Amino acid sequence: MALLQAKNVTKQFGGLLAVNDVTLTIDRGSIVSVIGPNGAGKTTFFNVLTGIYKPDKGSITFNGQSLLNLRSDQITACGITRTFQNIRLFNNMTVLENVLVGMHSRLHAPMWNIIFRTPTMRQEERQARQKARELLHFVGLDDKRDDLAKNLPYGDQRRLEIARALASEPKMVLLDEPTAGMNPHETASATRLIQRLRDDMGVTVVLIEHDMKVVMSISERISVLDYGIKIAEGTPDDIRANPRVIEAYLGKGATQESEATHQDPEITTQEAEVHTTPEVRRQKPAL
């Protein structure tokens, strides 16, 4: 069943068509990756989905509701949250507070109740803290809840972003390069976490990712953008074999070469190579 339907979404910056007529359907409870070379419009597409940019054309329906005329914070309240490519935590707030801010759309105590600390407000606050700690526990940061966000190591900051995104009780999270800049070890643990978002929390996950090992191992469907256009969509195996995708990543010559050698082994770039190594296949059942 479709949770999110984006139809013919177009976003233009001056003469640049950052997202060009992209149609994408995301099923409830799935893990979907959006990949593509740098500058392909992936992050812009996320920004359109979360209301940071308004699309020039097209429609976006989430959970049966149009998102077109909603502000970012209203979209969050509807159930879409995100993380950012370049981590954007609230640096001078504590880890716990970061998560509590994520909960904003679920807290309703009016100013009057806050000033006079009414029992309802206090209970809401207590429950919020409780839930924030549960989320921190889920991502493995509960013991660091009182640290300032800026003092966390890099991998933990990424985890915190995920916990903060989960705080608004989303139906869908958009993860923008969740493993960027991580070492292989951190990447593996982040991949496990993403898997658990769906399996344990029941959240639909859409991720932008450059690490093909991650993409191929956890995605159920993959969409490929290039120059703002969706050039391919399908299961990881479809995408791996798709000549247009290989062309987008490696240029025309590579396609011919790979066709000549019946795909795979000769492809030399790291990204393309990684997903075919036996190590990945071994890892998959463990996830």
Partner 1 sequence: MAQTNPQSSLQVGTWDQLKTRLNRGIWPYLLITTYSLVVTLLLFRNPSTSRNTDILFVLFLGIMLLTYKMALRPEFKLAIAALFLGIGLPYFGTLNPFYMDIATMVGIFVVLALGLNVTVGFVGLLDLGYIAFYAAGAYLWAIFSTRQAQNIFPGLAHLFPVPPSWFFIFMLLALVVGACMGLLLGSPVLRLRGDYLAIVTLGFGEVIRVLATNLDRPVNITNGAQGIRDIGRPPLFFEPWVREMGVDLSQGQLYQLFFYFLVLLVLGFMIMVVYRLSNSRIGRAWTAIREDETAAIAMGVPLVRMKLTAFAVGASFAAVMGTIFAAKQLFINPPTFDLLRSINVLSMVILGGMGSIPGVILGATLVTLLNLQLLPRLARELSVLQIPSQFDPTQYQRMLFGLLLILMTIFRPAGILPEDRRRQELEGNAIDVPAEIEQSPPQATEPDVGMKS
With H, G, I as helix, E, B as strand and everything else as coil, classify residue 102. Answer: helix
Which residues sit opposite 222 in a β-bridge?
A: 33, 234
- In the complex, minimum distance from the CB of residue 98 to partner 1, in angstroms, rounded to a whole number: 8
- In the complex, minimum distance from the CB of residue 66 to partner 1, in angstroms, rounded to a whole number: 19
Residue with Cβ nearer partner 1 (207 or 245): 207
- In the complex, minimum distance from the CB of residue 105 to partner 1, in angstroms, rounded to a whole number: 3
- Counting every residue written for the chain, the total comes to 287
| 201 sits in which H/E element | helix 184-201
Separation between Cα atoms, residue 141 and residue 111, nearest integer Å:
31
- Label the pairing between strands 204-208 and 16-27: unpaired
- In the complex, minimum distance from the CB of residue 50 to partner 1, in angstroms, rounded to a whole number: 6
Residue 85 near residue 177, CB atoms below 8 Å = yes
- In the complex, minimum distance from the CB of residue 256 to partner 1, in angstroms, rounded to a whole number: 40
For the sheet containing 2-13, what is the strand order? 16-27, 2-13, 57-62, 65-66
The site for partner 1 (CB under 8 A) is made up of 50, 52, 71-74, 76-77, 81-82, 84, 88-94, 96-97, 100-105, 107, 109, 111, 114-115, 117, 121, 125-126, 128-130, 133-134, 137-138, 140, 142, 145-148, 164-165, 167-168, 183, 185-186, 189, 192
Residue 102 near residue 78, CB atoms below 8 Å = no
Residue with Cβ nearer partner 1 (105 or 258): 105
Separation between Cα atoms, residue 187 and residue 192, nearest integer Å:
9
Residue with Cβ nearer partner 1 (122 or 252): 122
Residue with Cβ nearer partner 1 (159 or 240): 159
Separation between Cα atoms, residue 109 and residue 11, nearest integer Å:
37
- In the complex, minimum distance from the CB of residue 219 to partner 1, in angstroms, rounded to a whole number: 21
Residue 208 near residue 227, CB atoms below 8 Å = no
Residue with Cβ nearer partner 1 (192 or 281): 192
Separation between Cα atoms, residue 56 and residue 58, nearest integer Å:
7
DSSP character for 152?
Answer: S
Residue with Cβ nearer partner 1 (94 or 263): 94
- In the complex, minimum distance from the CB of residue 280 to partner 1, in angstroms, rounded to a whole number: 18
Residue with Cβ nearer partner 1 (67 or 121): 121
Task: Please report where in the chains the tokens 């990756």 appear, as a residue.
Answer: 33
Residue 8 gets the label, from left (phi > 0), alpha (psi -120 to 50) or beta, of left
- In the complex, minimum distance from the CB of residue 108 to partner 1, in angstroms, rounded to a whole number: 8
Which residues sit opposite 176 in a β-bridge?
A: 208
Residue with Cβ nearer partner 1 (143 or 237): 143
